[in-house]
C-alpha cells in the first residue's frame, strides 16, 4: 500500500543533513564539559550547532538554551521567569496551558488573539506580567499578531514569550522584528531529531533553571547536553534556513486539497481559512463524522492525518482551539488537521481526496 504522510505539524521526517550530523556525533567520545581534547572537540560541535540554531531566528548564540524539546522550553520560559503574572492566549499548546496558573486572553472567531482584550487585561493590573502567544496555531495554522502583542506588552512593562515551534523553517523568523523576549523552538518540527529543542532568551534576562546540576547551558539548564540531538538540530536549522523562502509553495497543494474536499462535501467547514495561515496547514470539519472515525478511515487507506494536536498521548479529544473560536461542540468534534511538508506531492493529495471521498460516500449511503 502506498502511504501518504500528511501529519507534518506533528513531526517532520528527519532531514538527511541531520541524520549525517548525528551519525558523526555518535562516534565522538567526549563530554562537552570536559577540558581534554575529546571534550573540547565535543564543545566545538555543540557551539557550532548553537550558532546554527541562533542564525535561524536572528539571535545571538549566547541566547540559545538547549532543552529536551518544545515542551520543556515552554515550561522553562513560563516558570523560569519568576515574579510575574501570566497571560496566555486561549489557543496555546497544552505545554503552555499547563505550565503555570494563568489568565486566559480570548481569541476572535477567526482564531486570532483579541488584542483589545489583551490591552485591557494588562492595564487592569499594575503587577508585572508575562504574555505568551504562539506565532502560528498548530491546529488551524492561523498566524498570530505577535509583534503587535509584544508592543502592547512592553508598553505595560510586560515581557512576551512566543512559541514559534510550528513556524520555524516555514516562515522567516527574526527575534528583533517579532519583539519577543523569549522564543521556543523544537527540532523535530523542522526535520531534526525528536527529544531536543531550545529556548531563546537574552543572556541578560533573569531565568531560573528548572533542572539544576552541573551548571550547563550557562546555568540555565543543568545536565550533560544531548550532543547528537543538538548537532542534528543545528544541521536541520541550517538546511531549513536555505529552504524557508520557498516553503510558501506548498500552499498550492494545500489549497488544491481544500478545494477538492469541499467540492465533495459542501457542508465541510474550513477553520481559519479566511485568515493568514501557515502554507501547509488545513483544519477541516465534516459535521456528523467524528474526527476519530475520519482519522482511522484515512489511516486504513494509507493516509496519515491527525485530530487536533498530536501531543496528547494518542488521545482524540475535542479541540480547545476550536472551542475558543466559538465553534459548536458537535462541529469541533468532527475536525481533522491535514498538514503538508517539503516532500508532499500531488499524488499524496490525490490519495487523501480519494480516501476522504470514499468515507463521505459511505456516510451518505448510510444516511439514505
Q: Is the pLDDT of residue 368 over 90?
A: no
Residue 65 to residue 57: CA distance in whole angstroms: 13
Cα atoms found within 13 Å of the Cα of residue 235, Cβ hemisphere only:
22
Q: Is the pLDDT of residue 309 over 70?
A: no
Based on the fold, state whether residues 285 and 232 are members of the same structural domain: no
**Each residue's pLDDT tens digit, 76-93:** 999 999 999 999 999 999
Based on the fold, state whether residues 189 and 260 are members of the same structural domain: no
Residue 167: φ, ψ to 5°: -95, -30
Residue 321 to residue 339: CA distance in whole angstroms: 16
**Each residue's pLDDT tens digit, 85-127:** 999 999 999 999 999 999 999 999 999 999 999 999 999 999 9
**Domain hosting residue 253, numbered range:** 4-12+247-367
Average pLDDT over residues 44-58: 98
Based on the fold, state whether residues 263 and 198 are members of the same structural domain: no
Based on the fold, state whether residues 296 and 359 are members of the same structural domain: yes
Average pLDDT, the chain: 95
Query: Of 244, 279, 309, which one is at a domain's C-terminal end?
Result: 244
Catalytic site positions: 311
Average pLDDT over residues 186-196: 98
Average pLDDT over residues 341-360: 97
Based on the fold, state whether residues 263 and 200 are members of the same structural domain: no
Based on the fold, state whether residues 280 and 166 are members of the same structural domain: no
Based on the fold, state whether residues 44 and 168 are members of the same structural domain: yes
Answer whether 201's CB lies under 8 Å from 276's CB: no
Residue 31 buriedness (CB in 10 A; 0-12 / 13-18 / 19+):
middle
**Each residue's pLDDT tens digit, 267-287:** 999 999 999 999 999 999 999
The pLDDT score that the predictor gives to residue 318 is 77
Query: Of 209, 244, 279, which one is at a domain's C-terminal end?
Result: 244
**Each residue's pLDDT tens digit, 127-186:** 999 999 999 999 999 999 999 999 999 999 999 999 999 999 999 999 999 999 999 999
Percent of the residues in the chain that have a pLDDT greater than 90, as a whole number: 93
Sheet strands (E) in the chain: 4-5, 64-67, 85-89, 103-105, 129-132, 159-163, 182-186, 197-201, 269-270, 281-285, 303-304, 335-339
**Each residue's pLDDT tens digit, 207-260:** 999 999 989 999 999 999 999 999 999 999 999 999 999 999 999 999 999 999
The pLDDT score that the predictor gives to residue 310 is 53
Average pLDDT over residues 356-368: 87
Based on the fold, state whether residues 206 and 261 are members of the same structural domain: no
Residues 6+ apart with CB under 8 A from 120: none
**Each residue's pLDDT tens digit, 10-39:** 999 999 999 999 999 999 899 999 999 999
Q: Hey, what's the cell of 31?
A: 563530554
Based on the fold, state whether residues 227 and 262 are members of the same structural domain: no
Based on the fold, state whether residues 251 and 363 are members of the same structural domain: yes
Question: How many domains are contained in the chain?
Answer: 2
Answer whether 346's CB lies under 8 Å from 6's CB: no
Based on the fold, state whether residues 8 and 66 are members of the same structural domain: no
Query: Of 244, 268, 296, which one is at a domain's C-terminal end?
Result: 244
Residue 297's CATH number: 3.90.1150.10
Residue 120's CATH number: 3.40.640.10
pLDDT band at 311 (very low <50, low <70, confident <90, very high): low
Q: Is the pLDDT of residue 316 over 70?
A: no
Based on the fold, state whether residues 268 and 217 are members of the same structural domain: no
pLDDT band at 313 (very low <50, low <70, confident <90, very high): very low
Amino acid at each position: 500500500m502506498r502511504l501518504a504522510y500528511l501529519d507534518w505539524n506533528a513531526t517532520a521526517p528527519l532531514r538527511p543533513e541531520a541524520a549525517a550530523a548525528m551519525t558523526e556525533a555518535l562516534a565522538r567520545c567526549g563530554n562537552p564539559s570536559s577540558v581534554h581534547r575529546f571534550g573540547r572537540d565535543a564543545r566545538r560541535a555543540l557551539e557550532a550547532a548553537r550558532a546554527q540554531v541562533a542564525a535561524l531566528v536572528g539571535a545571538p548564540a549566547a541566547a540559545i538554551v538547549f532543552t529536551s524539546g518544545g515542551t520543556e522550553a515552554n515550561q522553562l520560559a513560563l516558570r523560569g521567569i519568576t515574579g510575574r503574572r501570566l497571560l496566555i492566549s486561549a489557543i496555546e499548546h497544552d505545554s503552555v496551558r499547563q505550565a503555570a496558573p494563568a489568565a486566559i486572553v480570548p481569541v476572535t472567531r477567526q482564531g486570532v488573539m483579541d488584542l483589545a482584550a489583551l490591552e485591557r487585561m494588562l492595564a487592569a493590573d499594575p503587577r508585572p506580567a508575562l504574555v505568551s502567544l504562539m506565532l502560528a496555531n498548530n491546529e488551524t495554522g492561523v498566524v498570530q499578531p505577535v509583534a503587535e502583542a509584544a508592543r502592547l506588552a512592553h508598553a505595560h512593562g510586560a515581557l512576551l514569550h512566543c512559541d514559534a515551534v510550528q513556524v520555524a523553517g516555514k516562515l522567516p523568523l527574526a527575534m528583533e522584528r517579532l519583539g519577543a523576549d523569549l522564543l521556543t523552538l523544537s527540532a523535530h518540527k523542522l526535520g531534526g531529531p525528536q527529544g531536543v529543542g531550545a529556548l531563546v532568551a537574552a543572556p541578560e534576562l533573569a531565568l531560573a533553571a528548572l533542572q539544576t546540576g552541573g551548571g550547563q547551558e550557562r546555568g540555565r539548564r543543568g545536565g550533560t547536553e544531548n550532543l547528537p540531538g543538538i548537532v542534528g538540530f543545528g544541521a536541520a536549522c541550517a538546511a531549513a534556513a536555505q529552504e524557508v523562502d520557498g516553503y510558501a509553495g506548498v500552499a498550492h497543494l494545500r489549497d488544491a486539497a481544500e478545494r477538492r474536499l469541499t467540492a465533495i462535501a459542501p457542508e465541510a467547514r474550513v477553520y481559519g481559512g479566511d485568515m493568514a495561515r501557515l502554507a501547509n496547514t488545513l483544519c477541516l470539519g465534516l459535521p456528523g463524522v467524528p474526527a476519530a472515525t475520519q482519522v482511522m478511515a484515512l489511516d486504513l487507506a494509507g493516509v496519515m492525518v491527525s485530530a487536533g494536536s498530536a501531543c496528547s498521548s494518542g488521545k482524540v479529544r475535542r479541540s480547545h482551539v476550536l472551542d475558543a473560536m466559538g465553534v459548536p461542540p458537535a462541529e469541533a468534534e468532527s475536525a481533522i488537521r491535514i498538514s503538508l511538508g517539503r516532500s508532499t506531492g500531488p499524488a499524496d493529495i490525490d490519495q487523501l481526496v480519494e480516501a476522504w471521498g470514499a468515507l463521505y460516500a459511505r456516510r451518505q449511503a448510510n444516511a439514505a
